[in-house]
Amino acid sequence: MPAKPLPKAELHLHIEGTLEPELAFALAERNGVALPYATTAELRSAYSFTDLQSFLDLYYALMAVLRTEDDFAELADAYLTRAAAQGVRHAEIFFDPQAHTARGVPIGTVIEGLARALDDSERRYGIGTRLIMCFLRDESADSALETFEAARPYLHRICAVGLDSAEVGNPPSKFREVFRRAAEAGLHRVAHAGEEGPAEYITEALDVLGVERIDHGLRCLEDPALVERLARERVPLTVCPLSNVRLRCVDRLADHPLRAMLEAGLLVTVNSDDPSYFGGYVDDNFTAIRDALRLDDETLRLLAANSFHAAFLDDRTRRDYL
């Protein structure tokens, strides 16, 4: 019998990246949206990426099937069902409002739909949940500000803001003002940095945006002084091993720097990013790196414990999980 998955928190998960081909086809039919693929197998065969942008092109295209509150609730329910089976007890879930409002879907539809599934997640799935609203860094700073203002009536449902999409050429400093407003509104802050972009983007995210966690962060390894700082300040890094291989940030899982990151004293967590596209949910990531990097049980337990240390939880709740 396979071992029971370790209890863990998932902190780097794009809800739109959990859209499985079967659900995409069902929603396409329900909403009268034409997909440029005849079958789920044909769609799956398009999941061969050369870099971040080649993935993002498909990721945004497939979102056309998400239109109603029910669609967003169903998407989140499907993720939570899978996450529960993978040992997830707490999930901090990214969503990309601009990818939906640009298609004419109101931000309230997105947030209320997701919230409907999340509000009941503890009772139905045994998973505590938070929402993290991400800004698309390849859109303008003004678009991020408009999005933040449109989300004001819903901020009680949002735990943090984040930054994702095409990284290179879109440094964190472009989003100084919207992160300032988010901090003023009492929200936590995170940002993707050092996935494809340089180590300086990690430093900027910390110093200009005031982020509390770095999503990915792999390229910190190119700057020893930054590694030393991240370790000293206990800044969590939400690492996504299968994503890193699929998007060619790392050649092979066996070459993944996760072990080196742990040895450098970094607070590393393991996450799935966009599991429908990258070949596995969070425990599949744990299993894959265990095998590829020959991690022992103690290291796996450390990674799972790190996920709760890195989560936006109050100390009492954190203690209950650990």
Q: 74-79: which pairs have CB atoms within 8 A and are 24 or more residues apart?
A: 74/23, 74/27, 74/117, 75/15, 75/16, 75/18, 75/19, 75/23, 75/113, 75/114, 75/117, 76/15, 76/113, 76/114, 76/116, 76/117, 76/118, 77/117, 78/18, 78/20, 78/23, 79/13, 79/15, 79/18
Is 100 annotated to bind a ligand? Reply is: no
Among 165, 203, 238, 269, interactor with ligand HPA by CB under 6 A: 165
Is 273 marked within a binding site? yes
Judged by beta carbon, residue 59 or residue 201, the one nearer ligand HPA is 59
Q: Name which of ligand HPA, Zn ion, none residue 165 binds, using a CB cut-off of 5 to 8 Å depending on partner kind.
A: ligand HPA
Question: Exactly one of 243, 271, 272, 276 binds ligand HPA (CB under 6 A); which one?
Answer: 243
- The answer to whether residue 276 forms part of the interface with ligand HPA (CB under 6 A) is no
- Among candidate residues 139, 167, 195, 204, the one labeled active-site is 195
Residues in contact with Zn ion, total (CB under 5 A)? 1
- Annotated binding residue 314: no
Least distance to ligand HPA, CB of residue 244, Å: 9
Minimum CB distance to ligand HPA smaller for 204 or for 274? 274
For residue 161, state whether it binds ligand HPA (rule: CB under 6 A).
Answer: no
Judged by beta carbon, residue 14 or residue 89, the one nearer ligand HPA is 14
Shortest distance in whole angstroms from residue 47 CB to ligand HPA: 13
Among ligand HPA, Zn ion, none, residue 195 binds (CB under 5-8 Å by kind): ligand HPA
Q: Known catalytic residue: 228?
A: no
Closer to Zn ion by CB, 69 or 284: give it. Answer: 284
Which of 96, 167, 196, 273 binds Zn ion (CB under 5 A)? It is 273
Residue 6 or 236: which CB sits closer to ligand HPA?
236
- Cβ 296 to ligand HPA shortest distance, Å: 28
Q: Which residues are part of the catalytic machinery?
A: 195
Binding site for ligand HPA (CB under 6 A): 14, 17, 52, 59, 164-165, 192, 195, 243, 273-274
